[in-house]
Each structure stands twice: as C-alpha cells, then as structure tokens.
C-alpha cells in the first residue's frame, strides 16, 4: 500500500519499510578479555570521582582559607557551597561505581585481549 502525495498526485514511498535481517556491523567473536574495559573504566571513574571531585575539591577549599582565592575564574573559600557539596557527593558516587567496575573485572573470566573489528 503506497501513499499518494496529495499535492502532486504522484505515488510516494511505501508506508512500511522493509528492514534487513542482517546487522549493519557483524557481531564480534566471543572470547575477548572484557576485563580490560572494566579495569580502564573503573580506574578512570575512581580518578575523576575521588581524585578530582573529592580530593581536589577539598584541597582547593582548604587552600582558599578565609580570605579565599580565585582559580580559573572560580572563587574558593574555606566554606563549601552547594555546588562544592554536589561535586563532592557526585565524586563519592562516581568513585564507588569505579570500585564496583574493578570488582566486576576481577570476578569476570579471563580471556585474550581482542581489539574490536580486527581480524585475528
């Protein structure tokens, strides 16, 4: 059943699209070491969460003191505002999620390192 264009009177495309049964990207061969991704992602999340959002946040507020200091246009004083507490909480959660990814990587079965799309 084709649709008819009411402005030109010509028949257009079909209303139902025929979807191919084959995927656009061939599936990867099983047996790769998925633990590498868990370790890299967990390490990055721990560094960003606990390293930057928690440790650097606290360090900048401690170094600011009561007089305060400006770093890259942002004022840091000894008191932490709502943004600093939000970054602190988000950093705690992000680092904890990184630890979960590391634990998942340690409990996963070991396989060989396979790069996606490369024929071995």
- Window from 86-90, 100-104, 115-119 with minimum mean pLDDT: 115-119
Query: Residue 98: what pLDDT?
Result: 95
pLDDT tens across 42-77, in order? 999 999 999 998 998 889 888 888 888 888 888 888
Q: Which residue has the higher pLDDT, 93 or 21?
A: 93
- Window from 5-9, 89-93, 97-101 with minimum mean pLDDT: 5-9
Query: Residue 10: what pLDDT?
Result: 60
Query: Residue 50: what pLDDT?
Result: 93
- What is the pTM (predicted TM-score) of this model? 0.63
Mean per-residue pLDDT over the chain, rounded: 80
Q: DSSP secondary structure string, the chain? A: -EEE-TTT--EEEESS----SS-SSPPPPS-B-THHHHHHHHHHHHIIIIIIIIIIHHHHHHHHTTT-EEETTEEE-SS--HHHHHHHHHHHHHHHHHHHHHHHHHHSPP-B---TT---
pLDDT interval class at 7 (50, 70, 90)? low
């Amino acid at each position: 059943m084709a649709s008819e264009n009411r402005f030109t009177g010509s028949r257009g495309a079909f209303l139902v699209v025929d979807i191919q049964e084959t995927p656009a990207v061939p599936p990867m061969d099983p047996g790769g070491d998925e633990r590498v991704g868990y370790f890299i992602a967990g390490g990055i999340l721990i560094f960003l969460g606990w390293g930057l959002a928690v440790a650097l946040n606290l360090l900048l507020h401690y170094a600011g003191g009561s007089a305060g200091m400006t770093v890259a246009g942002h004022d840091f004083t000894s008191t932490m505002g709502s943004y600093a507490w939000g970054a602190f909480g988000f950093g705690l959660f992000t680092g904890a999620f990184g630890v979960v990814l590391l634990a998942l990587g340690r409990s996963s079965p070991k396989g060989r390192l396979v790069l996606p799309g490369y024929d071995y």
